[in-house]
Amino acid sequence: MSDERRPSFGIPDEEFIRGKIPMTKEEIRVITLSKLQIQQDSVVLDIGAGTGSISIECSLIARLGKVYAVEVVDEGIELIKKNIEKFGVKNITPIHGMAPKSLEGVKIVDRIVVGGSRGNIVEILEWANDHLSKDGIIVANFITIENLFYFIEALKEKKYEYELTQVTIAKSKTIKDITMMQGHNPVFIVKAQR
Amino acid sequence: MSDERRPSFGIPDEEFIRGKIPMTKEEIRVITLSKLQIQQDSVVLDIGAGTGSISIECSLIARLGKVYAVEVVDEGIELIKKNIEKFGVKNITPIHGMAPKSLEGVKIVDRIVVGGSRGNIVEILEWANDHLSKDGIIVANFITIENLFYFIEALKEKKYEYELTQVTIAKSKTIKDITMMQGHNPVFIVKAQR
Amino acid sequence: MSDERRPSFGIPDEEFIRGKIPMTKEEIRVITLSKLQIQQDSVVLDIGAGTGSISIECSLIARLGKVYAVEVVDEGIELIKKNIEKFGVKNITPIHGMAPKSLEGVKIVDRIVVGGSRGNIVEILEWANDHLSKDGIIVANFITIENLFYFIEALKEKKYEYELTQVTIAKSKTIKDITMMQGHNPVFIVKAQR
Amino acid sequence: MSDERRPSFGIPDEEFIRGKIPMTKEEIRVITLSKLQIQQDSVVLDIGAGTGSISIECSLIARLGKVYAVEVVDEGIELIKKNIEKFGVKNITPIHGMAPKSLEGVKIVDRIVVGGSRGNIVEILEWANDHLSKDGIIVANFITIENLFYFIEALKEKKYEYELTQVTIAKSKTIKDITMMQGHNPVFIVKAQR
């Protein structure tokens, strides 16, 4: 679709080029984006960018800003590049590697979104200490109890305020005019600010 | 906050002026908005607009378009006007009344969002038959089984495609560094298109 | 396990002989059983008995009573018979057919549990009119909005009191000491009494 | 109700004498009981017994066994005694105090159920090391992320197998023949065995 016709946010799942990389589902993605409170000139760091779906949405909102999309899996980086091309965005920098150790080139960011932390969530928060701007916001998604806990504990230790939202989605599957409900995996979304 | 600093969507609940009128919670609001796929020039009809929170968000996305905010409760209409003023938006027309019977002034709309139907969901869909544009989208929220069912049945009869998403949210309440989870009421969100 | 060692209820899923027939999951099964309020001498009708898991549990509680297990699928009836044998219960009568039309042999029942209604939920309630004892209880499980609605409407028409409970379960999957949560399909459980 | 008419499990919430003490809701209670796999001769330890609702249910299943009901709040102990009297059970010993330090009189138990741990969940598991019988089962309910995590970590350290089930319940409230769904707080239920 042409740029004028594109909605300001909420790109449906099927519009992204996807491979075998897991993609944050639409509903989780928009709640995550909403909690990020991205502004036109925000600099955003997307850790565990996967297919780049969140990076693309961020880049469309932060159109005067910049998005770093960090992904360690080869196929992921390829998909991010393909989606950058498909959506014609100019302000995403893909980083092939892991956070925080592959972030040397990144100075100050206004928003950090963590889709997958590979167990480095505490180190990432350590990095944020020196690189997140004063009113910066971190939003991280978790599907495991352990990583959720480690992040919350690190937030407490570093005197962040945080809120935790658990989102459970069920979607219809219509078979012969009958609307069955199918459950998705619940996701924990943590928003943190100093 | 100044216009430049305002995020493109996802206004937190506490930024809206609220009275005793129930307000769609932030997470439900952004999923609803996302499913609406509003474009810059969309004409949007918000039925059961309540405090106007969804209308405000719609008007910020459809900045070259227009939003009709229909609300029957006096206090609601007052709150909508106050929020229009607070957020400085110019493209919302409040309509004090009930849909569809108070919609004489409304010609063609591209998006219909239904926060509360007062049991008129089938008549609203009847009205949409003549007033929703060709690629128009309807998104309606339900908290009762009956109204959900009546809407789905009317959609089937009028040959709409639809998807139903149930969203269950739990939010943290932190007491002395302990993160308790509190459940919210589940909401059914139906997206329909012809 | 020997009879003395068997718990009074709450048989784990894996103890039932299962084929390709869908089985009500443990958590849904025990809530369903709890709402049935089965007594030692209850006569229970299990409609859409599937593998017989609910019938087996009912028969262990209603040990001085009787359970009719109605199932239309051939494989289901075979599994019910195998589970009757495995658990050594004497008070279950399998009925190969559909309710209500295959219920000629059944006179008065104290409890009706509906795991699957094949769209006959309204006819089943009609049958209950003449066959459910005075303080009888019906508990029915639904995964579709339509059948749930039809049942609720029929209950209202026949002046039953009812409560609806929606149960959403997520279970852990542990991978390398990490506890991931996986969502199951939500189930609607209706309990009705006159 | 007379003993013969009482269901084997699943006592409705309203049958218990309650004060201002929070009570585990019916659906959570029956799933908890089911996972405990109590046998006729089981010795059960109920920690954070509250009103005694779970102890009462346990004592009716373990009718040849014994139940210890530990509760620190004065009003709770009073309610437990009143419920013991109301239900006419003989095999519950109330213990006014906190686990594990008030458990000197308790030797070997077959089942431990934890409704509330007052932050002592790790010490309780330490106590279980010497007092839980060989095939013993522990089931603990949590509403906070932190206590859930501490328990899971302690289980891993002590080489227990565990499963985590999160249960989210919504119940109907019927207003003028309209069925609204209201969300309850989600509960995490951990079952552990060596």
Bridge partners of C46, per DSSP, are: C69, C113
* Block residue for tokens 């100093």: A194
How many interchain CB pairs under 8 A, A with C? 54
* Structural contact between residues A133 and A110, judged by C-beta atoms closer than 8 angstroms: yes
The reply to whether D17 touches chain A by the CB within 8 Å rule is: no
Range from A174-183, B131-140, B174-183, C9-18 carrying the lowest mean pLDDT: C9-18
The rounded percent of chain A whose pLDDT value lies above 70 is 96
pLDDT over threshold 70, residue C125: yes
CB pair distance less than 8 Å for A34 and B30: yes
Length of chain D: 194
Interface confidence, given as ipTM, is: 0.92
Contact between chains at B186 and D178 (C-beta distance less than 8 A): no
- Give me the mean pLDDT over the B26-36 stretch: 95
D7: in domain: no
Q: Which chains touch B (3 or more CB pairs under 8 A)?
A: A, C, D
Mean pLDDT calculated for residue range D123-144: 96
Q: How far is CA B161 from CA A173, A187, B47, B158, D47, in A?
A: 12, 28, 21, 9, 52
Is D144 part of a structural domain of the chain? yes
Q: How many structural domains comprise chain B?
A: 1
- Residue C42 domain flag: yes
- Among C142, C144, C149, which would you mutate to test the B interface (most chain B Cβ atoms within 10 Å of its Cβ)? C149
pLDDT recorded at residue D5: 47
Q: Is A169 on the interface with D (CB under 8 A)?
A: no
Q: pLDDT at residue A6 above 60?
A: no
Report the range of poorest mean pLDDT among B48-52, B62-66, C9-13, C55-59.
C9-13
Output the DSSP codes for B5-21.
GS-SS---GGGS---SS
Rg (CA), chain D: 17
Contacts of C168 in chain B (CB under 8 A): 168
Has residue D4 got a pLDDT over 50?
A: no
Q: Is residue D3 part of a domain?
A: no
d(CA D14, CA D32): 18
Give pLDDT, residue A47. Answer: 97
- Quote the pLDDT of residue C10: 80
Q: Does C122 touch chain D (CB under 8 A)?
A: no
User: For all residues of chain D together, what is the average pLDDT?
Assistant: 92
Q: In chain C, what residues touch B164 (CB-CB under 8 Å)? A: 145
Domain contains C131: yes
Residue D118: pLDDT band with limits 50, 70, 90: confident
Interchain pair C183, A186: CB under 8 A: yes
Cβ contacts of B166 on chain C, cutoff 8 Å: 186
Report the pLDDT averaged over residues D170-187. 94
Full-model pTM: 0.94
Mean pLDDT on C117-132: 91
Q: Which residues of C touch D177 (CB under 8 A)?
A: 156
* Residue of higher predicted confidence among C95 and A122: C95
pLDDT at C2: 42
C97 to chain B nearest CA, in Å? Answer: 30
More confident residue, D19 or D186: D186
pLDDT score, position B44: 98
Residue D9 has pLDDT above 90, yes or no: no
C151: in domain: yes
C26 domain residue, yes or no: yes
Classify the phi-psi angles of C159: left when phi > 0, otherwise alpha if psi is within -120 to 50, otherwise beta. Answer: left
Give CA separation, B179 vs B112, B142, C48, D41, D107, in Å: 38, 29, 42, 38, 34
% of chain A beyond a pLDDT of 90: 82
Instruction: Answer yes or no: is pLDDT of C135 > 70.
Output: yes
Q: Is A164 on the interface with D (CB under 8 A)?
A: yes
Tell me the residue type at C14.
E
pLDDT of residue D7: 53
Measured between beta carbons, which residues in chain D are less than 8 angstroms from residue A146?
149, 152
Strands, DSSP E only, in chain B? 43-47, 66-71, 92-96, 109-114, 132-142, 161-175, 178-183, 187-193
Q: In the complex, which subunits touch D with 3 or more CB pairs below 8 angstroms? A: A, B, C
What sign does the dihedral B15-B17-B20-B21 (CA atoms) show? negative
How high is the pLDDT of residue D116? 78
pLDDT at A117: 76
Query: Using alpha carbons only, how large is chain C's radius of gyration in Å?
Result: 17
pLDDT of residue C7: 52
Taking CB atoms and an 8 Å limit, are B145 and C149 in contact across chains? Answer: yes
Q: Please, which pLDDT band fits residue C19 given cuts at 50, 70 and 90? A: confident
Contacts of the segment B174-180: beta carbons below 8 A, 24+ positions apart? B174/A162, B177/A156, B177/D146, B178/D144, B178/D146, B178/D147, B179/A152, B179/A164, B179/D144, B179/D145, B179/D146, B180/D143, B180/D144, B180/D185
Chain A nearest-CA distance from D184, in A, is: 13
Dig out the tokens for C141 from the structure.
């499980």
Mean pLDDT of C39-51: 95
Would the CB atoms of D30 and C34 count as touching at under 8 Å? yes
List the single best residue of B3, B14, B30, B149 to mutate versus A (max A Cβ within 10 A).
B30
pLDDT at B2: 42
Query: Which residue range forms the structural domain that includes residue C93?
Result: 13-193
Residue pLDDT, tens place only, A10-37: 888 899 999 888 888 999 999 999 999 9
Choose the closest CB to B146 out of D145, D178, D185.
Answer: D178
Q: Identify the band that residue D156 occupies on the pLDDT scale cut at 50, 70 and 90.
A: very high
Residue C183 has pLDDT above 90, yes or no: yes
- Interchain contact, A145 vs D146, CB within 8 Å: no
In a domain, C2, yes or no: no
Cα A23 from chain centre: 10
Residue A3 has pLDDT above 50, yes or no: no
**Separation of alpha carbons D182 and D192, rounded Å:** 31
pLDDT at D33: 95
How confident is the model over D11-54, as pLDDT tens digits? 888 999 998 888 889 999 999 999 999 999 999 999 999 999 99
pLDDT, tens digit, for every residue of A44-68? Answer: 999 999 999 999 999 999 989 999 9
Nearest residue of A to residue C119 by CA position? A178
From the CA of B135, how many Å to the nearest CA of chain C? 27
Phi and psi at residue B192, to the nearest 5°: -135, 145
Domain CATH code at residue D118: 3.40.50.150
Round to whole Å and give the CA distance between D177 and D174. Answer: 6
Q: What's the pLDDT tens digit per position in B127-159?
A: 999 999 999 999 999 999 999 999 999 999 999
- What are residue D126's phi and psi, to 5 degrees? -60, -45
CB-CB: which of A34, A41, A152 is closest to B9? A34
Partner B contacted by D180 (CB < 8 A): yes
Q: pLDDT, tens digit, for every residue of A86-131?
A: 999 999 999 999 999 999 999 999 999 999 777 888 999 999 999 9
Touching C (3+ Cβ pairs <8 A), the chains are A, B, D
Residue C86 CB: number of other CB atoms within 10 A?
A: 13
C-alpha to C-alpha distances, C3 to C10, C67, D4, nearest whole angstrom: 14, 19, 21
Q: Is the pLDDT of residue C96 over 60?
A: yes
Q: Do C166 and B186 touch (CB under 8 A)?
A: yes
pLDDT band at B72 (very low <50, low <70, confident <90, very high): very high
B21 touches C at CB < 8 Å: no
Whether chain D has a CB inside 8 Å of the CB on A175: the answer is no
